[in-house]
Amino acid sequence: MVAVHGATQKVQSLQCQTCHYFAFEPISSSKVVEELRQHPLKIRHKIVKLSKDRLGIYFNSNIVRSLGLQKGEEVYLSIPNKKQLVMELSETSS
């Protein structure tokens, strides 16, 4: 059984002792994938200093590609509490 970061359930891993090929058992794998889909994706980023009093964050290429972000695009930020920052894409975004 293999632990998967972010999931409480484990996946059964099958490995050939001769060639070391491994595969994950389909039923336990699908349960873990379903569990992970129920929680939002978290990606660790560092805040960078842009200039005197300004801070910023760079989005990695996977975020840019999956959300279709473009340079100069406007987004809406809201702060529901002191632990969360929510970004909403504008209506004109893809």
Q: Is the pLDDT of residue 66 over 90?
A: no
Range of the domain at 25: 2-37
Q: Is the pLDDT of residue 79 over 70?
A: yes
Residue 70 resides in a domain: yes
pTM score, whole prediction: 0.51
11-50 per-position pLDDT tens digit: 999 988 899 898 999 999 999 999 988 887 778 889 999 9
Q: Which residue has the higher pLDDT, 93 or 17?
A: 17
User: Are the CB atoms for 78 and 56 separated by under 8 Å?
Assistant: no
Q: Which residue has the tokens 């504008």?
A: 90
Supply the pLDDT for residue 92. 65
Task: Tell whether 31 and 52 lie within a shared domain.
Answer: no
Residue 42 resides in a domain: no
Residue 13 resides in a domain: yes
- Per the structure, the count of domains in the chain is 2
Residue 65 resides in a domain: yes
Q: Where are the beta strands (DSSP E) in the chain?
A: 2-3, 10-11, 13-15, 22-24, 48-51, 54-56, 75-81, 84-89
